[in-house]
Amino acid sequence: GIQVEQSPPDLILQEGANSTLRCNFSDSVNNLQWFHQNPWGQLINLFYIPSGTKQNGRLSATTVATERYSLLYISSSQTTDSGVYFCAVGSRAGSYQLTFGKGTKLSVIP
């Protein structure tokens, strides 16, 4: 099946710093989403972005489908950004499932 690799696995930032999280995938995808998992376990949908670029406030994401990677940018980080960020992909029509990476654990310190 499709492989999803996220880097870095852990990231510690000072409040106000910027960061880039990366997601590499091994096959073409028809679905790519970035999620933030909060301390209570809920996966919050940040972006649905199988290709192109999107922005939402301090967050933006870019997926280059032809090169099989996606980037999540966090600018002016805040302590509330702490948590685990997951990239999840769906490959080929009809598979009806997401394959998740192992996540990037982000800690933003004051």
Partner 1 sequence: KAGVTQTPRYLIKTRGQQVTLSCSPISGHRSVSWYQQTPGQGLQFLFEYFSETQRNKGNFPGRFSGRQFSNSRSEMNVSTLELGDSALYLCASSLTGGGNGYTFGSGTRLTVV
CA dihedral 23, 25, 31, 32 (to 10 degrees): 0
Continuous segment of H or E residues that includes residue 86: strand 83-90
- Only one of the segments 17-25, 59-67, 70-78, 85-93 lies at the binding site for partner 1 (rule: CB under 8 A); that segment is 85-93
CB of 85 to partner 1, least distance (A): 13
CB of 70 to partner 1, least distance (A): 14
- Angstrom distance (rounded) from CA 21 to CA 3: 17
Residues 39-68 that bind partner 1 (CB under 8 A): 40-45, 48, 50
The answer to the question of residue 25 lying near partner 1 (CB under 8 A) is no
Binding site for partner 1 (CB under 8 A): 30-31, 33, 35, 40-45, 48, 50, 86, 88, 90, 93-103
